[in-house]
Structure 1
Amino acid sequence: MHFLLLGATGRTGKHVVSGLLSQDHTAVALVRASGSLAPRPGLTIVTGSPLSKDDIRRALFAAPSLLPSAAIITLNTVRESDSPFGARLSPPRFLADSCANACEVLEEASIPRVIVMSTAGIGDSWGKLPWLSRAFMGWTNIKYALEDHGLVDKEIRLTKMDWTLVRAVRLEFKDTDDPKTEVKTLGSSGDGMRVSDSVTVTSVARFLIQAAVEGLFIKEAVVVRD
């Protein structure tokens, strides 16, 4: 299969790239900075912004004779640092507008499938978050990312596409992965979430690919943890 990737240079996105190529899929990645992603066989790189529909269109048709079967979006808001208190650098609706743009362009091209990485705490999963997690998110600048992911949740439901929202619990940025270990899915609301829950970026990337390739959780949101 051939995929359009938005967010391929991020800490989860880079594992999506590696996972797809290792399974002999191909991909085109729209990246904001030239040189931010190393060229690899099977990977086409286009420089542009997900806030530009024209840039997304260029990416769609960038690989000769290949049209994506689906898009995988792993964009996140950008902060001044990795600290949860780091100032937000992205526009307030960066994720929502990027997602809306991508869906519009994909629908124009009759591409029906999009998988979007989200976060636990969005929509009906907010009430199932442990109170300590809710307090932390509300107290730090993570709240701005949460707001934007919430807007993505609303935008995606306005499309006619076969969408999937993957709501990851707290991310662990480990590069190790056991492909035999499957993530646990907790439904849309995240029933049974614990404050100690986490999921590695490699696990999330593997699940995003699986959902895209196998057509899992169509028009559903799903909370995942290791």
Structure 2
Amino acid sequence: MHFLLLGASGRTGQHVVSELLSQGHTAVALVRTSSSLVPRPGLTVVTGSPLSKPDIRSALIAAPLSPSAAIITLNTVRKSDSPFAAQLSPPRFLADSCANACEVLEQAGIYRVVVMSTAGVGDSWGNLPLLSKAFMGWTNVKYALEDHGLVDKEIRLTKMNWTLVRAVRLQFDDQKSTNMKVDVKTLGSKGVGMSLTDSVSVSSVASFLAKVAVEGLFNRSAVVVTN
């Protein structure tokens, strides 16, 4: 299969690229700077912004194949990894990027999109541990949560066959926890059973995103995932 990737240069997105290519699929990635993603066989890199519909259209036709689906792993950007760092992404960065992608894809007759989200969005908020709720409300992480919430709300109004993958506390390569790729545990859209100690590695999430996109799982639904 051939995929359109938005957010492929990010810490989760790079794992998605590796996962897809290792399975023999191909992809075209729209990135803001060409140097942010190393070209490799099966991967076409296009420079542009997800806030630009013409740039997304350019990515769709950059490879000989038409994408079967899109995988979006975009996230908002802060000045540093500190949860208190100033927000750098514009308001509605995620919502507008997703809306642009859905519009362009629909015009091209492509209706499958898998979007990386976060636990606490939508109907999963009620099962988020109280300390997690307090952390999100107290820090600038709240801006990302709000933007993911807009994506969650607005994508349901489209004609797309969407899946929202809500990850519980991502563990990145540079964090102390082992970032081994293991199967994720799915907790439904509401995340019933989430605990304060839950986390999920980016490699596990990337593998799940690819599996969902390739196999067409969880169509028009959201799912909370943890290790």
Aligned to 1:38: 38
Partner of residue 137, structure 2: 138
Which letter does structure 1 place at the counterpart of 2:205?
V
**Structure 2 residues without counterparts, runs of 5 or longer:** none
Match of 1:177 among 157, 175, 180: 180
Alignment of 1:93-172 (within 5 A): 93-172=92-171
Amino acid at match of 1:42: G
* Paired letter, 1:90: S
Q: Structure 2: how far apart are the matches of 1:223 and 1:52?
A: 29
Structure 2 residue 69 is matched with structure 1 residue 70: yes
- Please state how far the C-alpha of 1:177 moved relative to its aligned partner: 2.6
Question: Could you give the per-residue CA deviations for residues 57-84 of structure 1, whole angstroms, max 9, x where no partner exists?
Answer: 00001002x0000000000001000111
Measure, in 1, the Cα distance between the counterparts of 2:223 and 2:168: 11
For structure 1, list consecutive stretches of 5 or more residues without a partner in the other structure.
none
Within a 5 Å distance, the mapping from 1:11-50 to structure 2 comes to: 11-50=11-50
Tell me which amino acid in the other structure corresponds to 2:30: L
Partner of 2:79: 80
Contact kept, 8 Å, 2:72 with 2:116, in 1: the verdict is yes
CA RMSD of aligned residues (A): 0.8
Partner of 1:198: 199
Deviation (angstroms), 1:106: 0.3
Shift of 1:176: 4.0
Deviation (angstroms), 1:46: 0.3
TM-score norm. by structure 1 comes to 0.97
Alpha-carbon distance in structure 2 between the residues aligned to 1:8 and 1:177? 20
SS of 1:118's equivalent in the other structure is strand
Q: How far is 1:182 from its partner?
A: 1.3
| 1:87 aligned counterpart, secondary structure | coil
> Are 2:60 and 1:57 aligned?
no
Do the aligned residues in 2 keep the contact of 1:99 with 1:155 (CA within 8 Å)? no
Provide the secondary structure at the position in 1 that maps to 2:36: coil
Runs of 4+ in 1 over 3 A off after TM superposition: none
Deviation at 1:113, TM superposition (A): 0.3
How far is the alpha carbon of 1:32 from its aligned partner?
0.5
TM-score normalised according to structure 2 size: 0.97
CA distance in 2 between counterparts of 1:30 and 1:203 reads: 23
* Per-residue deviation, 1:35: 1.0
Give the conservation status (yes or no) of the 8 Å contact 2:179–2:202.
Answer: no
Count of matched residue positions in the alignment of Structure 1 and Structure 2: 223
Give the whole-Å Cα distance in 1 for the aligned partners of 2:34 and 2:189. Answer: 37
**In structure 2, how many angstroms separate the alpha carbons of the residues matched to 1:183 and 1:48?**
32
